[in-house]
Chain A
Amino acid sequence: MLDDLRSMERVMADDDIKIVAKGVDVFYGDNHAIKSVDVNIQNRAVTAFIGPSGCGKSTFLRCLNRMNDTIDVCRVTGDMLLDGQDIYAKDVDPVQLRARVGMVFQKPNPFPKSIYDNVAYGPKIHGLAKNKSELDEIVEKSLRRAAIWDEVKDRLDAPGTGLSGGQQQRLCIGRAVATAPEVLLMDEPCSALDPIATAQVEELIDELRQDFTVVIVTHSMQQAARVSQKTAFFHLGDLVEYGETDKIFTNPEDPRTESYITGRIG
């Protein structure tokens, strides 16, 4: 039943494309990390990047909000369009871009401040709230959306670092959501979490799909199968295969994809 609903949605949203990557190459010094990748990321859907360690999936993810700019030796060529606008164009401010394309990291990294301040920081620096009550509202909505409101509503002044790992990661998601981005990038968000916390975060990702374009990097193929509608398989810097998640997992075209999902390489 759920699967049917999902496939219906997919059909409906198929030509609604948020991000277009054309011929993207990434170099770390002399190392050619991403080799001419073309990919169209669908709006309001979850796209999963899978592949063995060191295949470049995280690198490609970090290209989507120009986090690689902070690395001196990293060089990106090719076209990367967000809503048809080249994000590597000269007139694009990476700071503004990152407000539109939020990110959640592998290890939960709340600021060593209160839970409230963690969430309020983004809205504050981008001027999203006019006054304290608006800010309070944004914080509450974001924490509700990150499915952690009920757990922390009585201790918003407690340090964010005092929460458990799973709570911290949900707090980080809430923090990313608070800046009201269009796209949410997640770099292995569950790799440091136990199965219960993972299940909670996965459920959350599925809900976030309604408002955001979510791109998730994961090592777990089950997770990719559970949460994503589209899956891209990276191998040694190449995008080997990209398509509907069901199709990738049930009927892959490329033998490398098949070997990986059946556990023979990786």
Chain B
Amino acid sequence: MVDMTELTGMHSGASAAKRTASRRAAEWRLKLYGILAIFLAGAALVALLWSVLGTATGALTETYLKMPITIEAEEIDPDGTGDPKIIRRADFTGLTKDMLKAEFPNATGRTTRRQLYDLTSAGAAFELADMVSEDPSLVGQTIEYPFLASDVTDLYLKDDFGKLREKEVSGLLSIAVVDDEATVTSSVNDFSEALGRVKDGLIDEARVLRRQAALQDNGVKFYERELEAATTADETSSAEAQLKTRRAARDNLLAKAEDLERRSTTASGSEELGKGNLSVLIKAGGGWFKGTQIDTSLIEADVIIPPTEAIEDSADWQLFVTDLPENARKVTDNQIIWIESLKEKDSVDVVFNSRFFTSGDSREPELAGILGAAVGSFWTMVVTFALAFPIGVAAAIYLEEFAPKNKFTDFIEVNINNLAAVPSIVFGLLGLSLFLGVFGVPRSAPIAGGLVLALMTLPTIIIASRAAIRAVPPSIRDAAVGLGASPLQASVHHVLPLAMPGILTGTIIGMAQALGETAPLIMIGMVAFIVDIPQGITDSASVLPVQVFRWSDFPERAFEARTAAAICVLLLFLVVMNAIAVFLRKRFERRW
């Protein structure tokens, strides 16, 4: 028997205090875990936004190179028609190239020329063509036109390939120019630091050579054993021959390595500046020079931009060293010099990149925009909503309010719940075989994507809507039915408005899921490269997440920033959708 009066005593005393303390501690621990979890989630979110937004800033600006160009009448409109169609078809690309060649006359040779043409975007000439065809009076004039810079130029100006660092110099400079080559001498050892770096690199080179020599040495040992084991004259002679070539190769490599090591330890001595070394650029007397051979106070250099005056014991000169060797960056030394000289002339304009928000996709990063994908997403969402919302809500009302409770409806219910768990790519396959294959819905079009995403969204909407309808108190139904409303009237007039906030929440969750979906759209061809902005639900289109996926796959570095910017647009889309949902929910929300 338990004596209840004795139990009452257990509420006071030391043991009771201990129990209370342990309960409080458990509560405190739970609270701590909760705060930790929220903090971790918040930190993850901040890190994500930080990285995405930080990367996306690179896509916020674009660069223009202002250069004078003469719209040659005999090139563009030889017959003087002034017809915009003829002007548009003219060779503006050639005109742009001629302009660049005139701007930098020292750029000769195929490779150098190609580098020069790469300064501006391929789209710049088309924009110029548009402008002149709209205003034919420009033909024959010389205008200062802002050419859209290429992605490489743009990235260099955003320090994406490292900075061009100026080094301190103290000597007086003299330059002797012969044709395109120059001999640069300083009165003091201004180049010893750069030379030291080159010499440090020699040790690594020597190490590589020694490793190759060791491999040859292994071969030597192998053929020595072969020679000992040889029984016939043939075997002996072939082994001897092998041994001879291997020994020669090994000794040659070792000699080279020793030579490199010796050169690296002596402070002076001329060394070659290759593509693997940090580039050394010199600016003096209005000209630019690129070092090819370096000594402590002497540099052999290529003339990239010829000087305008003779340089003799001049103190007015600058020495630049790049952060990265030429073979580790997309922008070449020549391009750096050209861009820097344009910058000096104040010809570089950096402006807000409105193009990104107003144009469609492009293979050129500087021309690529997000509008096509955003509009595609919009149309796809319109189709998805128009299909999934009415069907989903109608299905939910039928199942909750009208369907008899039996095995068959149970079966349907289980299957709806199962559908919500089907991987989205399966819906894509279904859409491919059914909508595209059987019904002939146009490939890559928002209607096809919308149909597939509607299938995917339906179960989410049905489940959420049923829960919302079930949560409406039965007294409201009784009141309506008691007044003589038909079951349909009771559902539509009273139950549905009360369930609407919940239904909308479910719908927005489903739509947000659909908006971020990539896999099923790949199946129905929405990964295609589409430049035009879709005008309706049957035009070919891409969508935002697919655009993100495709851009992230492109090798051009400038797409990195654009991918991040596209992610930001996608997130913005989601925020707007959620804001609409919250607004609608507030409007429909009523107490009962």
List of B residues within 8 angstroms of A1 by Cβ: none
The answer to whether A111 and B479 touch across the interface, beta carbons within 8 angstroms, is yes
How far apart are A164's CB and chain B's nearest CB, in angstroms?
15
Q: Are B483 and A67 in contact (CB under 8 A)?
A: no
Residue on A with the closest CB to B479?
A109
Contact between A67 and B482, CB atoms less than 8 A apart: yes
Within 8 Å of chain B (Cβ to Cβ): is A6? Answer: no
Determine if B486 and A102 form an interchain contact, defined as CB atoms under 8 angstroms apart. no
CB within 8 Å of A: which of B458-494?
A: 473, 475-486, 489, 493-494
Complex: how many Å from CA A102 to CA B482?
A: 6
- Chain A residue at smallest Cβ distance from B489: A125
Is the Cβ of B498 less than 8 Å from the Cβ of A112?
yes
B404 within 8 A of A: yes
B478 & A105 in contact (Cβ 8 Å cutoff): yes
Q: In the complex the two chains form, is A98's CB within 8 Å of B479's CB?
A: no
Interface 1/0 per residue, B569-592 and A, CB below 8 Å: 000000000000000000000111
Quick check: A125 and B404 within 8 Å, CB to CB?
no
Q: Is the CB of B484 within 8 A of A172?
A: no
Within 8 A of B (CB), among A86-123: 95-99, 102-105, 107, 109-112, 121-122
CA distance A65 to B493 in the complex (A): 21
Given the known inter-chain contacts A96-B484, A105-B482, A176-B483, please indicate yes or no for A112 contacting B475, CB distance below 8 A. Answer: no
In the complex, are the beta carbons of B475 and A107 less than 8 A apart? Answer: yes
Q: Within B285-327, which residues are at the interface with A (CB < 8 Å)?
A: none
Knowing A109-B478, A111-B479, the reply to whether A95 touches B485 (Cβ < 8 A) is: yes
Task: Kindly state whether residue A247 has any CB partner on chain B within 8 Å.
Answer: no
- Taking beta carbons and an 8 Å cutoff, which residues of B are in contact with A? 404-405, 473, 475-486, 489, 493-494, 498, 590-592
Q: A72-B404, A125-B489, A161-B592 are in contact. Are A95 and B476 (CB under 8 A)?
A: no
* Set of chain A residues within 8 Å of B483, measured between Cβ atoms: 98-99, 102, 121-122, 125, 175-176, 179
The answer to whether the Cβ of A70 comes within 8 Å of any Cβ in the partner chain is: yes
Q: A112-B498, A161-B591, A161-B592 are in contact. Are A121 and B493 (CB under 8 A)?
A: yes
In angstroms, Cα B473 to Cα A172, docked, is 16
Q: Which residue of A lies closest to B482 (CB)?
A: A103
Bound state CA distance, A265 and B478, in angstroms?
31
B592: contacting residue among A65, A112, A126, A179, CB under 8 A: A112
CB-nearest residue of chain A to B494: A111
Can you report 13 residue pairs joining A to B where beta carbons are below 8 Å apart?
A67-B478, A67-B482, A95-B486, A96-B484, A102-B483, A102-B484, A105-B482, A109-B475, A112-B476, A121-B480, A159-B591, A179-B483, A179-B484
For the A-B complex, the count of residue pairs with Cβ-Cβ distances under 8 Å equals: 69
Closest A residue, CB atoms, query B405: A72
Min CB distance B277 to A, Å, is 79
How many A residues touch the partner, as a band? Answer: 20 to 34
> In the complex, which residues of chain B have a beta carbon less than 8 angstroms from the beta carbon of A65?
482
Q: Contact at A122–B476, with CB atoms within 8 Å?
A: no
Q: How far is the CA of A88 from the CA of B267 in the complex (A)?
A: 115
Other A-B pairs, 14, CB within 8 Å; known A70-B481, A72-B404, A102-B482: A65-B482, A70-B477, A95-B485, A98-B482, A99-B483, A99-B484, A103-B478, A105-B478, A105-B482, A111-B494, A121-B480, A121-B483, A125-B484, A161-B592
Distance in angstroms between the alpha carbons of A107 and B482 in the assembled complex: 13
> Which residue of A is nearest B477, CB measured?
A70
Q: How far is the CA of A103 from the CA of B498 in the complex (A)?
A: 22
Q: With A and B bound together, what is the CA distance between A102 and B410 in angstroms? A: 35
A99 and B473 CA atoms in complex are apart in Å by 22
Which residue on B lies nearest to A93, using beta carbons? B486
CA distance A179 to B481 in the complex (A): 12
Neighbouring B residues of A179 by C-beta, 8 Å: 483-484
User: Closest B-chain residue to A100, C-beta based?
Assistant: B484
> Are A67 and B489 also in contact (CB < 8 A) when A72-B404, A111-B494 are?
no
Q: Report the bound CA distance from A72 to B409 in whole Å.
A: 15
Q: How far is the CA of A135 from the CA of B87 in the complex (A)?
A: 73
* Residues of chain A with a CB closer than 8 A to B484's CB: 95-99, 102, 122, 125-126, 179
Q: Which of B475, B479, B484 has the most CB of A within 10 A?
A: B484
Q: How far is the CB of A65 from chain B (nearest CB, A)?
A: 7
Give the complex CA separation of A204 and B200 in angstroms: 106
CB distance from B391 to the nearest CB of A (A): 26
Chain A residues contacting B590 (CB-CB under 8 Å) are: 112, 159, 161
- Rounded to whole angstroms, the CA-CA distance of A95 and B488 in the bound complex is 11
* Complex Cα spacing A122 to B484, Å: 7
Q: Are B498 and A98 closer than 8 Å at their CB atoms?
A: no
Do B481 and A112 have beta carbons less than 8 Å apart?
no
Residues of B within 8 A of A112 (CB): 476, 498, 590-592
Q: How close is B493's CB to chain A, nearest CB, in angstroms?
A: 7
Residue of chain B at shortest CB distance from A104: B482
Nearest 7 interchain pairs by C-beta: A99-B484, A103-B482, A109-B475, A98-B484, A112-B590, A122-B483, A109-B479
Shortest CB distance B425–A (Å): 41
The answer for the CA separation of A126 and B484 in the assembled complex, in Å, is 8
C-alpha gap A179/B591 in the complex (Å): 25
CB contact under 8 A between A98 and B476, given known A72-B405, A121-B493, A161-B591: no
